[in-house]
Amino acid sequence: MKLYAILASTVIFNTTYGSVFVGAFALFSSKKLIIPTDDFMALPITPIPQLDAARDDMKTRMELMILRVQAEVCKALEKEEDCNKFEVDRWFRHDAGGGGITCVLQDGKVFEKAGVNISVISGNLSRGGVAQMRSRGKKLKNDEPPYFVAGISAVIHPRNPMVPTIHFNYRYFEVQDGDDLVWWFGGGTDLTPYYLSTADAIHFHATLKEACDKHDKSFYPKFKKWCDDYFNIPHRGERRGIGGIFFDDLDQPDRETCFKFATDCADAVIPSYIPLVARHKHAPYTKSERDWQLLRRGRYVEFNLVYDRGTKFGFNTPHARHESILMSLPLLARWEYMHQPESKSPEGELLEVLKNPKNWIEDCSCEES
């Protein structure tokens, strides 16, 4: 007989972040598998008994993975903030299946706006969503098939223009298309600096390359190029940032292998980014440098609203939660008519790299400073 227990009022002292948590552990019985719900930002979206009944199912494993990564990223960012904490919004789609946990930190000393979201959603795809998937080569026979998606998505907009913005997203998707189960993984991590630091770029890309190389040495160059091509703003003739990795429709060789790869990529976010925050968060900056940061954020908005596939899919999903979709937008942005920096200025040097993406690891032999 299965036992479901919540051990309430458990006090845990977390020495890493100096916090005291009072809460619960969810206990699975037959395999004594413990879900450390106190370590999450909120309770799972799927009820504990349902997770227990399907503990080996990829849907369960993906939900628990993104809950863990969300909490680890939020706590690492809070440590850099030192005092400000994330607001946690656990929500449900009452007219459809699933929900999410939106964690947002606004007006911090270090992070002007940071959002780290997870969603665990099920329902039936809209015809627009199916059309979008068919355009990517998915051979779906039905027009409104049942689907499930679990993913984590985060965008961190710093206050200091010397600290880059980071975005990452990792997701698992499955569609029950008649008798066929169609599944795939997707995601990526990319960096958007406002002022170019070669040392930062090398560290960031090297960390992602290390995660990729554990699985296949062809992944990093392939997914790095995919990232450069995807985060492109055609009407500007420039990339959104200096890239990273990006992949989609990953369904080979099997789900277990793909899941482990997505997990390792998600776990590479903190070591790729937090050292850059610590390095630059106290750097001095001028009003003109702040204005340039806001102009570059305007480019970020243009890409997300005009070209980003995830934003389009979200708006095509019935009962979509628009506040969470638009969480990626910065708190402040700026547009100036016909702004053009001097080519030899730091701003012009950044633009040159955005127009002509660079292979940071292969092209540069310099050491990190």
Instruction: Give the Å distances, CA to CA, from 45 to 42, 71, 97.
Output: 9, 14, 10
Neighbours of 138 (CB within 10 A): 15
d(CA 129, CA 320): 12
Per the structure block, which two tokens stand in for 235?
């009407």
The 8-class DSSP code of residue 242 comes to: S
Phi, psi of 316 (to 5 degrees): -90, -5
Nearest to 247 by CA among 306, 182, 309: 309
The 8-class DSSP code of residue 367 comes to: P
Catalytic residue at 167?
Answer: yes
R_g of the chain computed on alpha carbons = 21
Nearest to 133 by CA among 261, 312, 262: 312
Residue keyed to tokens 């309770």: 43
161, β-bridge pairs: none
Phi, psi of 16 (to 5 degrees): -70, -45
**Are 86 and 78 contacting, i.e. CB atoms less than 8 angstroms apart?**
yes
120, β-bridge pairs: 99, 150
Which one of 167, 203, 205, 280 is the catalytic residue?
167
**Are 112 and 100 contacting, i.e. CB atoms less than 8 angstroms apart?**
no
CA 272-274-279 angle, to 5 degrees, is: 110
**Are 102 and 115 contacting, i.e. CB atoms less than 8 angstroms apart?**
yes
Instruction: Give the Å distances, CA to CA, from 98 to 94, 147, 149, 150.
Output: 8, 11, 9, 10
Which residue type, as a one-letter code, is found at position 348?
Answer: G
Active site residues: 167
